[in-house]
Amino acid sequence: MTNFPETSLHVIHIDEPELEFANGQILDHQKDGLYLYGPCWAPKNREISIGLVATKKGESLFREWLAMMSKGVRVPKPKKREKKFRPHLSDFPGLQEAYGIAVRSDDITVYNLSKTEIEDRTSLENHHEAVARTVDLFLSPIEEHLKNEEKTIDVWIFAVPELVFERCRPLASGRRSVELTPGEFSRKQKAKVELPLLADVIDMRGESVFDDVPDFHRQIKARLLKLAQPCQLVRETTLAPGEFLNRAGNPIRGVQDPATISWNLATALFYKSQEFPPWKIANMREGVCYVGLVFKLLPNHPDNHACCAAQMFLSEGDGVVFRGANGPWMTEKKEFHLSKSAAKKLIQQVLKTYRTKFGANPKELFIHGRTKFTDDEWDAFSEVAPEGTNIVGIRIQSTHGDTKFYRDGDYPTIRGTALLLGPRDAFLWTSGYVPRIDTYLGPETPNPLFITVLRASADSPPEIEIVLRDIMSLTKINYNSASYNDGLPVTIRFADKVGEVLVMGSAKDAERQPFKFYV
């Protein structure tokens, strides 16, 4: 245990967490581990079934990309004045070679969409209706497939035209929009229906189209929650940036190099088509469960009610999202706090699922949040804690320039540096220079996370170094990409994205779903 003299601060380094791959092999680098050993769990379905919803052009671009991924993708040659060797980039060896899965091009289930119909729907007068009807267009083939076809699809791919991205998101700049109130919209729809030629084509959902934020990506995810169908959205400009040029002849948007994109898409395909993720945290303590709390204001709610949820993650890396109760959770200080009964119910769901999976209660349950817990919240957590389970409350806050560390050399503070302020508080640099890849990928001097061990139901909380190691480990299980690490632990990293999906009216009946459906 570290002693903390009053006159000094302690700086330590948390070693880079290691990951486990096939046959128990250990490395700290996802791409190297997959390249050398393969995923830690053998694929359940080595040939995965893909459903593709796209325009004819989108289908062509995706097939070309899939053929390239199957063969392997080299990193681009260094430009002039760049290092000849760039260790933060890795050749993509191929879908079969790295992940043990394959997609047969002749086995893709394709549903083509009309570019003209996409244009018409995204151009509708009211933004909410335009987005809702565009989402209908993309989802109707899936709904029909589930009703009428026996073939099971492992992952649905949406190849999204840039037009949809420009027009079907909040504050979209690529469209002219007349924002109607729900009442005005309903009256206009009713008037249109009375016209004989329009009666069959008018969307009669009325004011329910306002239950969802006008965001294509979020509405797709929310509506597929009910269908329990994992999906991956990819923009056409990501698949072929060179085919979408501006007036100067340059790509209209910058993207990562093709090898990196292939790594990320392949990771998502494996994660969303298999029972377990491609890697897991190595040497994690047994019986430990991590929970991140999620809060998001409900759109257009007159009393500023919010949705709450819990994200549960295990050392194996798999996650589950539990929806809690909606309510007046935002305080005058703009913080979110649950009532005692809501906090109890949420953590009880987590414990029940853990017992179902492992046949016993966790030894430790770490609850990560962005603020301190109220007495009511903590009393609720403590009261539902089974005998033998130590519940630990951890606050994780991002900092914004108040605390900086500088070091000699070309790169900033090494990732894993921690400034210990006492037995319960520390600054932790989860972003910084990484010797393994010989670079720092951030745009400026990195800011640390401020970590506080708030409370524990046992006699004493775990040592701060143990908490910091756990948080570092949780920055390496983002299965939506193959990045070396994130700057935030997964319990906090996706809280906003999960919340954005859960507050959608389309997701109101979703209570417990695998994390893969949200990302």
In a shared domain, residues 137 and 214: yes
CATH number for the domain spanning 364: value is 3.30.420.10
In a shared domain, residues 248 and 363: no
Domain end: 238, 273, 308, which one?
A: 273
* Local confidence band at 6 (pLDDT 50, 70, 90 cut-offs): low
Domain end: 221, 253, 273, which one?
A: 273
335-373 in b/e form (b: 16+ CB < 10 A) is ebbbbbebbbbbbebbbeebeeeeeebbebbbbbbebeb
* Local confidence band at 204 (pLDDT 50, 70, 90 cut-offs): very low
Sheet with 364-369, side-by-side order of all strands: 10-13, 417-420, 425-428, 449-456, 390-398, 364-369, 288-297, 306-314, 319-323, 512-514
In a shared domain, residues 177 and 244: yes
SS3 sequence of 213-281: CCCHHHHHHHHHHHHCCCEEEEEHHHHCHHHCECCCCCECCCCCCHHHHHHHHHHHHHHHHCCCCCCEE
Domain end: 244, 273, 302, which one?
A: 273
> Measured between alpha carbons, how far is 369 from 290 in angstroms, rounded to an integer?
11
Please report whether residue 375 resides in a domain: yes
> Measured between alpha carbons, how far is 68 from 76 in angstroms, rounded to an integer?
14
In a shared domain, residues 174 and 318: no
Task: Note the pLDDT tens digit of each residue in 376-401.
Answer: 999 999 999 999 999 999 999 999 87
* Local confidence band at 183 (pLDDT 50, 70, 90 cut-offs): low
Please compute the mean of the pLDDT values over residues 219-240 and round it to a whole number. 95
By percentage, how much of the chain surpasses pLDDT 90? 75
Q: What is the mean pLDDT of the chain?
A: 89
Are the beta carbons of 219 and 131 closer than 8 angstroms?
yes
In a shared domain, residues 81 and 184: yes
In a shared domain, residues 367 and 485: yes
Are the beta carbons of 216 and 135 closer than 8 angstroms?
yes
The confidence score (pLDDT) of residue 198 equals 42
Q: 149: which 2 tokens?
A: 């076809």
Please report whether residue 430 resides in a domain: no
In a shared domain, residues 75 and 157: yes
β-sheet bridge partners, residue 419: 11, 427
In a shared domain, residues 269 and 312: no
Q: 490: which 2 tokens?
A: 């997964």
- The number of helix segments (H) and strand segments (E) in the chain equals 15, 17
Please report whether residue 37 resides in a domain: no
Q: 87: which 2 tokens?
A: 């260790």
In a shared domain, residues 161 and 296: no
Please report whether residue 369 resides in a domain: yes
Judging by beta carbons within 10 Å of its beta carbon (0-12, 13-18, 19+), is residue 484 exposed, middle or buried?
Answer: buried
Judged by average pLDDT, the poorest of 19-28, 86-95, 138-147 is: 86-95
In a shared domain, residues 208 and 297: no
Which residue range(s) make up the domain with 239? 42-273
Task: Note the pLDDT tens digit of each residue in 428-484.
Answer: 999 999 998 888 888 888 999 999 999 998 888 899 999 999 999 999 999 989 999
**Could you tell me which residue, 501 or 78, shows the higher pLDDT?**
501
In a shared domain, residues 261 and 303: no
Please report whether residue 152 resides in a domain: yes
Residue type, 246: N
By percentage, how much of the chain surpasses pLDDT 70? 90
Please report whether residue 17 resides in a domain: no
Residue type, 457: S
Please report whether residue 362 resides in a domain: yes
Phi (first) and psi of residue 474, to 5 degrees:
-75, -5
* Local confidence band at 202 (pLDDT 50, 70, 90 cut-offs): very low
The confidence score (pLDDT) of residue 182 equals 54
Please report whether residue 9 resides in a domain: no
Domain count, the chain: 2
The confidence score (pLDDT) of residue 440 equals 87
The confidence score (pLDDT) of residue 128 equals 92
The confidence score (pLDDT) of residue 173 equals 52
In a shared domain, residues 226 and 95: yes
